[in-house]
Amino acid sequence: MRSIGEMARDGGLSVSALRFYDRAGVLVPAWVDPVSGYRWYEPEQLEEARLLARLRRAGMPLADIRLVLAAWSGTDTDLVRALLQAHLRRLALGLTDARNEFSTLRALLDHRENPLTSLRTATVQLSVPASKLAAALDAVRFAAGTDPDVPTLGGILFDIEGEGLHLVATDRYRMAVAQAPTTGHGGSRVQTIVPLPLADAMRALLTDEEPVQLTMDGDRVTLETGDRQTAGQSLGHEFPDYRRLVHLPAGHRARVDTAAFREALETGPVRAGEKRKQDGESQDLSVLRVAENGTVIVCDDGDDDQNNVAVNREFLLHALAAGARDELVLEFGAPTAPLAIRRTDTEGTFSTLMPVRLED
């Protein structure tokens, strides 16, 4: 294993930067000495460190870097290319160094060999309780991407393994995961990305309590309920490794009364944040802090504690609505790590929001 000093020297990152990316959940060491707190890294993480160093020199936001690193370890070169191209379009013409870094990354992608096989299969058919599938779609739909530059994220991942079905959606700045039980498959892992129009059509059919039939035949996805059905083509891309993205740093967990917390957000102070990359509009930020008694406070303008976490207020309100519970758990890690919104009755359905750096 490599020490943090060796990783810094060979990966092109400073020791302090590696500590920062650990706290942010971007590049987490393989092992931390429980006595000294010293960080150690697997040899395979050197490539990720070098990739991370290049992306940061090019000015890519942390939200995009997390997805690139997650996709880099899989077969999804389309998503990596899409993210690179989207960022290039945002760069000023004078950023020559950044253009050189992305040219190098494209060359690496062209020559990179990947031994992993696709998770798609010829035909899979399974049964899902209609109410469970409806609830899972409702829990993740708000987080799906709409950026035309990153079409891979413009759908909902259906991830089937054994008797479990996970639904996942992300637009880079937020991610939602939900699960539903299934019967009839019980085999190896299978994934497909259902485009949003088809996912919405599926949701419209889920009005009964009876189980529905979900079929994946190559790139075609079909949902049947009684004498009704909807079908369409899945997106021809690979989804980033969401399992990697949900390993967040440990922190504070606080229970909130959903209705009361929503009111506090809607009536409490907001701060103007940076313009959103996807639409150029400014975002209203809510700045949060966990008090000593375990309650979550919406901070006023004069509260600039370094442990405060700033998030897009609209996104947080969407996540509370999708949580669909009277009481939810907010999980705070480092101020630079994602904020998790979890249900109290299950760990399998939750969402995360990327924090927003406050302007100086």
- Residues 6+ positions from 180 with CB-CB distance below 8 Å: 128, 129, 132, 133, 135, 136, 164, 165, 167
Say whether pLDDT at 99 is over 80.
no
Which of 57-66, 246-255, 268-277 has the least mean pLDDT? 268-277
Whole-structure pTM value = 0.73
Query: Contact 331/319 with Cβ under 8 angstroms?
Result: no
Say whether pLDDT at 80 is over 50.
yes
pLDDT of residue 113: 44
Banded model confidence at residue 118, pLDDT cuts 50, 70, 90 = very low
Question: What is the overall mean pLDDT for the chain?
Answer: 86
pLDDT of residue 163: 84
pLDDT more than 70, % of the chain: 89
Banded model confidence at residue 360, pLDDT cuts 50, 70, 90 = very low
CA dihedral sign of residues 225, 226, 230, 233: positive
DSSP string for 28-94? --SEE-TTT--EEE-TTHHHHHHHHHHHHHTT--HHHHHHHHHHHTTT-HHHHHHHHHHHHHHS-TT
CATH says 248-353 is which class? alpha beta
β-bridge pairing 309-312 and 327-332 = unpaired
Digit-coded pLDDT (tens) for 294-313: 899 999 876 777 788 999 99
The CATH code belonging to domain 123-242 is 3.10.150.10
Banded model confidence at residue 349, pLDDT cuts 50, 70, 90 = very high
Q: Average pLDDT, stretch 324-352?
A: 89
Cα–Cα distances (Å) from 89 to 70, 80, 92, in that order, read 22, 15, 8
Query: Contact 344/327 with Cβ under 8 angstroms?
Result: yes
Which of 6-20, 25-39, 120-134, 139-153 has the least mean pLDDT? 120-134
pLDDT of residue 55: 92
The CATH code belonging to domain 2-111 is 1.10.1660.10
Nearest to 230 by CA among 207, 210, 208, 200: 200
What residue spans define the domains of the chain? 2-111, 123-242, 248-353
| Tokens coding 229 | 């059905």
Digit-coded pLDDT (tens) for 172-226: 999 999 999 999 887 788 889 999 999 999 999 998 888 999 999 888 999 999 8
Say whether pLDDT at 122 is over 70.
no
Q: Average pLDDT, stretch 272-280?
A: 56
Q: Average pLDDT, stretch 78-92?
A: 84
pLDDT of residue 303: 72
pLDDT of residue 179: 94
In 206-360, which ranges are continuous DSSP H helix?
242-245, 258-267, 313-323
- Residues 6+ positions from 267 with CB-CB distance below 8 Å: none
In this chain, the answer to whether the domains covering 2-111 and 123-242 adopt an identical fold is no
Banded model confidence at residue 95, pLDDT cuts 50, 70, 90 = low
pLDDT of residue 282: 63
| Tokens coding 65 | 């870097």
Q: Average pLDDT, stretch 264-289?
A: 76
